[in-house]
Chain A
Amino acid sequence: MQYSLRSVIVCSLLFFSSVGFTNSNPSTLDALSLAQLVADRPSNEGRVGTMHFRLINSAKRERTREALMAHSDVNNVERIAIFFTQPSMIEETAFLSLNYDEDEDENWLYLPATERVRRLPTSDRGDYFLGTDLTYGDIKDNFKFNISDWDFALEDADAGNHQGNIKVLLGKAKSPEKSEELGYASFRAKIDTSTAFPIWAEYTDVDGELLKKVEVLDIALVGGAQTALHFSAENYQTGHKTIVHFTNMRHVPDLDETIFEPDSLAYGVPDVQE
């Protein structure tokens, strides 16, 4: 259960990876500037939406999840609360993640079976969230590439993959230790410079073997910010795939902060006043 919830967090963070429009001239960007452009992408304020998951294994067996998700980014604290509504087996399970800029993050979980809100340990970035095809680092990085983690390069223009606003950014972990920490040795990502958003990325594992790809399939303007509405992550080595899409996603600028209090997880799905 713990891991299923983490999968939701992963997807939530990706969901809330929203961007503002930039003024950069794509033709003049070098690799570091492009990475910085992505890293500096602005965050969203309050939003709420219904999240639909499809977790598909290599035998094409599919599990589905549905949850109400609330997000807020105020005073340098990113808050995500997820309240499961389907299937019945995990209904009323709720998860809260509080991500601080300069302090250790907090994770809280409410399991109906235990009837208690429980504080969870913070995981290593390279840990895989069971049930998903994303790592905890994917969550933290939020579709961004941390400047201190990677050495960047632009793909050779002769490869022909730079088209219009799309630039291909390459990243290599700064050290073997960093690679172990991230769970990745390198990545290759297509960046839409008009949104500073990676729309496609492939990663290799710590041994340099091709590991997985992440695709953003739909982005929409919500509350003045571009937001990923549909994306997938596929692990090449296991054949497992995670697909996420959102419905009824709306901007709620004055989102009730009490939704993000740990005790509130036990209260059930909140009524969100818009």
Chain B
Amino acid sequence: MVSPMSKSKLVKVALVFSLITLVFLKPSTLFARETTFNRSVTISQTLAAGIDNNNSDLIRFSLRPTLDAKMPSGWRAKAVLRLERSDGDTGLGTLDTFDSISKPWDINAHTHLELERATLSWRKRSTRITLGKQTLAWGVLDGLQVTDRFDATRKREAVFIDQRPDRIARWGARAQFKSSNIRWDIGLLLDGTGDQLATIGSTYAVRAARFRAGLDSGQTLPAISIHPSNEATFGIRGNYRWGKSDMSLLMIQGPDPEPVYSLNENGIDVRFEARTLLGLTWQHPHGPRVWRLEVASIHNQPINTQQNGLTIVDRNRWLAGVGLDWDLPKNTFLNIQIGLDDISGEQLFRTNRDVISTIKIQRGVWNNTLKLSTEFIGSLRENDGTVRPAIGWHASDSLYLQAGVDIVWGNMNETFGQFNETDRVWLRAAWEL
């Protein structure tokens, strides 16, 4: 475990290392004529209207300029900014879960500016070293996070987004290389940013008591103080080809991006406590199908219990998920997944065992310029869930239009049912310039 003091040292080491790297990178290399710069801008506009009420109305504008410099000898630098403005009750999420070195600039209550990515990388053959603000996407399932728990994620719209999880880049270093037929991926992130939560009172703020330390939606939350972790996150993954299958073993040690709560004199502290995850992934193709499996064990999962009103304890946690991709006739794609999340012990605010299922079917027509899809996400134990039909149209090489409906059912104390008043229709336009 990395202490707050050693984290500070690690930051300094990383900065010095970056400095040395840049100093010894010959200017003639940095500014060589062979260096190519690529600039692009993504503009997106999302409009949503609540079906039951206007709570889920949303107008969100996003501007993402990207600068990508490809230099000789395998060097590459990339930076992405994200400017967002949101009107409506959905908002842009709290910034209090961000580490100070990663925190977006809240220009005002409705507008944020964030350095989304900033990396300097070097590559030679199978080896890549990446320094900077980055993500480490592990795991083989789609959206079901069993072993894919390195990155912090944005949860300001719960599961009602296009691409899950929506990762938050953090500062650190990563090395990828191959040795003896094992592909290694090692990451050290010095940035304690946790999952970004919806702002209290916003559309997708958690309402279920299981996510609010036992307080149900009718109870007013006391003063909340959020404390991003001071600890670093370290992870190592070895990936191996076994016949036609791909397997990986991995370990992640560091603060859990999911928060836990503790009482203080004035209210509640929100913390991101450390844990160690050991995991395994496996995927195997079989004709038009690919089977995927993930298992993770966390022996010291920090979790809230009702002991003494509100206590944080370490418990054993098992996560497992199995998924199937199936390429069906007529350009139809089916993805089915089921995930299990089991935590031992008594007096938890949540259930001991959650079983989540996802089904997505997608079909492309008109030479794939039009994409029809429907997604189901639900809890098989709580009988709540959401269904999300959508249609997407590639109007041109630079314009993609989408429309969809999010329908939610269940009761207020369930994982998805807590959002059962947020049924909405939405439109999204994305331009790439």
Residues of A bordering B, CB below 8 Å: 2-4, 55, 57, 61, 63-64, 87-89, 91, 103-104, 106, 113-116, 118-124, 126-128, 130-133, 238, 240, 256, 258, 261, 263-264, 267-269, 271
Chain B residues numbered 257-296 whose CB sits less than 8 Å from any CB in chain A:
283, 285, 287-290
**Interface range, B side:** 35 or more
Q: Across the interface, do B126 and A263 meet the contact criterion of CB distance under 8 Å?
A: yes
Given A88-B433, A114-B137, A130 and B126 contact (CB-CB distance below 8 Å): no
Interchain CB contact (< 8 A) of A119 among B72, B137, B178, B283 = B283
In the bound complex, what is the Cα–Cα distance between A87 and B137 (angstroms)?
24
In the bound complex, what is the Cα–Cα distance between A78 and B188 (angstroms)?
37
Interchain CB contact (< 8 A) of B163 among A114, A118, A264 = A114
In the bound complex, what is the Cα–Cα distance between A269 and B432 (angstroms)?
19
What residues on A are CB-neighbors of B285 within 8 Å?
Answer: 104, 106, 119, 121-122
What residues on B are CB-neighbors of A267 within 8 Å?
Answer: 123, 128
| Interface residue? B329 (CB, 8 A) | yes
Q: Across the interface, do A127 and B331 meet the contact criterion of CB distance under 8 Å?
A: yes
What residues on A are CB-neighbors of B364 within 8 Å?
Answer: 3, 130-131
| Interface residue? B396 (CB, 8 A) | yes
What residues on A are CB-neighbors of B433 within 8 Å?
Answer: 88
| Interface residue? B40 (CB, 8 A) | yes
Top 7 A-B pairs ranked by shortest CB distance?
A130-B368, A88-B432, A115-B137, A130-B364, A121-B327, A3-B368, A87-B397
Interchain CB contact (< 8 A) of B40 among A61, A88, A269 = A88
What residues on A are CB-neighbors of B42 within 8 Å?
Answer: 88
What residues on B are CB-neighbors of A113 within 8 Å?
Answer: 163
What residues on B are CB-neighbors of A116 within 8 Å?
Answer: 137-139
Closest beta carbon of chain B to A122's beta carbon, Å: 6
Q: Across the interface, do B289 and A121 meet the contact criterion of CB distance under 8 Å?
A: yes
In the bound complex, what is the Cα–Cα distance between A15 and B327 (angstroms)?
25
Q: Across the interface, do B396 and A63 meet the contact criterion of CB distance under 8 Å?
A: yes
Residues of B bordering A, CB below 8 Å: 38, 40, 42, 70, 72, 74, 76, 123, 125-126, 128, 135, 137-140, 163, 167, 176, 178, 183, 239, 244, 246, 283, 285, 287-290, 325-327, 329-331, 333, 364-369, 394, 396-398, 400, 430, 432-433
Given A263-B126, A271-B74, A123 and B288 contact (CB-CB distance below 8 Å): yes
Closest beta carbon of chain B to A187's beta carbon, Å: 21
What residues on A are CB-neighbors of B400 within 8 Å?
Answer: 89
Q: Is the interface of A mostly helix, strand, loop or mixed?
A: loop
Given A89-B397, A114-B163, A256-B125, A261 and B288 contact (CB-CB distance below 8 Å): no
In the bound complex, what is the Cα–Cα distance between A128 and B396 (angstroms)?
21
In the bound complex, what is the Cα–Cα distance between A261 and B182 (angstroms)?
12
What residues on B are CB-neighbors of A119 within 8 Å?
Answer: 140, 246, 283, 285, 290
Q: Which chain B residue shows the least CB distance to A63? A: B397
In the bound complex, what is the Cα–Cα distance between A132 and B367 (angstroms)?
6
What residues on B are CB-neighbors of A264 within 8 Å?
Answer: 126
In the bound complex, what is the Cα–Cα distance between A51 and B207 (angstroms)?
52
Q: Across the interface, do A238 and B367 meet the contact criterion of CB distance under 8 Å?
A: yes
Q: Across the interface, do B367 and A263 meet the contact criterion of CB distance under 8 Å?
A: no
What residues on B are CB-neighbors of A2 within 8 Å?
Answer: 333
In the bound complex, what is the Cα–Cα distance between A118 and B283 (angstroms)?
10
Q: Across the interface, do A91 and B176 meet the contact criterion of CB distance under 8 Å?
A: no
Closest beta carbon of chain B to A263's beta carbon, Å: 5
Q: Across the interface, do A240 and B432 meet the contact criterion of CB distance under 8 Å?
A: no
